[in-house]
Structure formats: C-alpha cells, structure tokens
Amino acid sequence: MISPIILVTKWLMVSRTLAGPPIVANAIIRYLGSDDGLSGNDLSAEVWKDLWPIERRRQREFFCFGMDILLKLDLTVNIMTLLLCRYLSHMLFLACSDSLWERNP
C-alpha cells in the first residue's frame, strides 16, 4: 500500500513543475521586450529570480534545514515520537469529544 503522504507530495511536485514554464516564459518575454538589452547571463539571472523569489528560497532552505535535522536524528526515536504524538492527539480528541457529550446531553 502506498502512503497517502507520498501521493500528496508527488502531486505537489508535479504541480510545482507545471507552474514553472509560464513563469519562465513570461520573464523571458518581459526581459527581451525591455530596452535594457540584457546579455545572456543577465537574462538568465533575472529569469532565475522570477522563478525562485526570495520567499520561496527561504521556504526551501527551511525545509532542507528541517530534513537535515531529521536525517541526523535516530530513526527509531523519530518513529516512536511520531507514534506517541499521534496517540496523544487521538487521546486528546477522544477526551474533548467525551467532554462535549457530557456538557450537551
């Protein structure tokens, strides 16, 4: 069985990949149509800035940093921590739903 998380990340990657070409095409058209007369290196740098704005680069660095930290940690401890969090969130949900039923008979 394929994990739903893997399917979601696959489609997120596909959607990001499909979103790229219009950004590149619009940037090339905009910079070629300008009067600046950009060279090849300048043009590629400007297109790269449009494709990877600073917010997206910061987000990417944050994700890579988080993944780097996860990979350095012990895998068994990570799995046990995630299972414990899932168990505790389930118990919290049950406790909250039980208290809601008690207040509203």
| Percentage of residues of the chain with pLDDT beyond 70 | 78
pLDDT higher at 104 or 64: 64
∠ CA 87-69-9, rounded to 5°? 65
Cα dihedral across residues 11, 13, 16, 20: positive or negative: negative
Residue 7 banded pLDDT, cuts 50, 70, 90: low
Q: How far apart are CA 37 and CA 41, in angstroms?
A: 12
